[in-house]
Structure 1
Amino acid sequence: MKKIYVIRHCEAEGQPPESMLTDKGIQQAFDLAEFFSETKIDRIISSPYKRAIDSIQPLANQLNVEIEINRNLAERVLSTINLSDWLEKLRATFEDMDVKFAGGESSREAMKRIVEVVEEIFNGINENTIIVTHGNLMSLLLMHFNKNFGFNDWENLSNPDVFLLKNEGNKVSLERLWE
């Protein structure tokens, strides 16, 4: 059985790739390390965004596991222009997987890139892998495995959040671990 722990980054100061963790987010990163202290982890893969890397760095240090950076785990770009009604636009992308806004990617396009990462892990040799990503992209991954996962579930994600994907006999199940 292969396990992938999908982690949404800890609380951050903003959305840009260079946004740092807040003081609370830094504490949450240490809480994550404690949460996984009894779990065997073979591999850690992170979004290139600073808040994602910083969220998992304490655990990587504790386990002496190198963090691999994968651009396919970067947050989904809704649009490259500022959308005053971004929340409604985001909701629309959960209802229509192909809707796309200026400079952005559709839900289907974003889902494809994170699913590729997960499939590569499931086809690999490691038993227990952590991937660190962002709320919207994480939601699309969870939707891929559970068609009922939608916009309201995205709204209810926490920073951080942890889901477990288990692949047993090519059947993938998911479970929320973070409370």
Structure 2
Amino acid sequence: MKLYVVRHCEAMGQPPEATLTDRGFEQAQALSQFFNGIQVDRIISSPYKRAIQSIEPLAKRVSLEIELDSRLGERVLSTEELTDWLEKLKATFDDFSLKLHGGESSEEARKRIIELVEKIENSSSENTIIVTHGNIMSLLLNHFDKNFGFEEWKRLSNPDVFLLTIDINRVTVERIWK
């Protein structure tokens, strides 16, 4: 089974209703072209507007409905305004149980995305695309590759694509976006 993990394209902000920038819409077209020649059985997206807009061109081209799943939604680090949010985010990569005010710990966020991946694994789909956000994507990748941490999160691009090849006893992780 192949699971393509896609980070959304460049967006105008962080709120759920934030749309793509003009450059982000161009990236969405490039993302659609990137998947030329790749069989796609299913597309599941975060319900955030920027994630949906990132995959719409591909979904239309291959005539697939975009399934929305809140487990792919952005992780809330804290409900408080954090001037040192980058330091706090790093701390959550160092301590997966660390939970900031009103936020979700890395462990809680990773649990919800792993739950979705396990559900996909038990489905009949062989080639699924999930569209999500950088932090939640990093936590998923860390589950399969413990070397994927805060520094790797910092190097993610918008968009970005990783391929998880899931065999019976093993999962390989490969960054395929160039």
Distance (Å, rounded) in 2 between the aligned partners of 1:146 and 1:108: 15
Equivalence for 1:132: 131
Distance (Å, rounded) in 1 between the aligned partners of 2:45 and 2:124: 18
Distance (Å, rounded) in 1 between the aligned partners of 2:136 and 2:101: 18
Structure 1 SS opposite 2:47 = coil
Question: 1:51 and 2:56 equivalent?
Answer: no
Shift of 1:14: 0.4
Equivalence for 2:156: 157
- TM-score norm. by structure 1 comes to 0.99
Shift of 1:170: 3.0
Shift of 1:169: 1.9
Q: Deviations over 1:71-98 (max 9, x none)?
A: 0000100001111100000000000000
Question: 1:62 and 2:67 equivalent?
Answer: no
Shift of 1:48: 0.3
Equivalence for 1:40: 39
Q: Deviations over 1:21-79 (max 9, x none)?
A: 00000000000000001110000000000000000000000000000000000010000
Letter in 2 for 1:130: I
Distance (Å, rounded) in 1 between the aligned partners of 2:76 and 2:96: 14
Equivalence for 2:11: 12
After TM superposition, list the pairs within 5 Å mapping 1:162-177 onto structure 2: 162-177=161-176
Runs of 4+ aligned structure 1 residues displaced above 4 Å come to none
Q: Deviations over 1:89-130 (max 9, x none)?
A: 000000000001010000000000001111111111000000
Distance (Å, rounded) in 2 between the aligned partners of 1:170 and 1:20: 39
Structure 2 SS opposite 1:41 = coil
Unaligned runs of 5+ in 2: none
Equivalence for 1:97: 96
**Aligned Cα RMSD in Å?**
0.5
Distance (Å, rounded) in 2 between the aligned partners of 1:53 and 1:26: 11
Distance (Å, rounded) in 1 between the aligned partners of 2:136 and 2:84: 19
Shift of 1:164: 0.3
Unaligned runs of 5+ in 1: none
Distance (Å, rounded) in 1 between the aligned partners of 2:138 and 2:166: 18
